[in-house]
Amino acid sequence: MAVELIDIVIRVLLVLATGFLFGIIFVAYLRVKSRKLLLISIGFLIFFVQYVATIPELYFNFVIDENLHLALHLVALVFILIGILKD
């Protein structure tokens, strides 16, 4: 199975972007120590871990099911939403 270059670039960019966002929010949480920032950083951490887990799909026969993919998105978005609406 040939992996297209665009697929590799997109997945690596997703990992870098979510890692960058998680890093910014987590550093802000460490400075402020609010529950709001903790919940938002947990949401971005779930996105980051999911995108890191999808990189082996390019080379191995490891595939995340579409339903699991959507469930992880839902859980991450719920954490971010709860964090935004906290207060």
What are the structural domain ranges in the chain? Answer: 5-85
pLDDT digits (tens, 9 = 90+) for 3-59: 688 888 888 898 999 999 999 999 999 999 999 999 999 999 999 998 888 877 767
pTM (global) more than 0.75: yes
Contact between 36 and 80 (Cβ < 8 Å): no
Measured CA distances, 85 to 57, 78, 82 (Å): 35, 10, 5
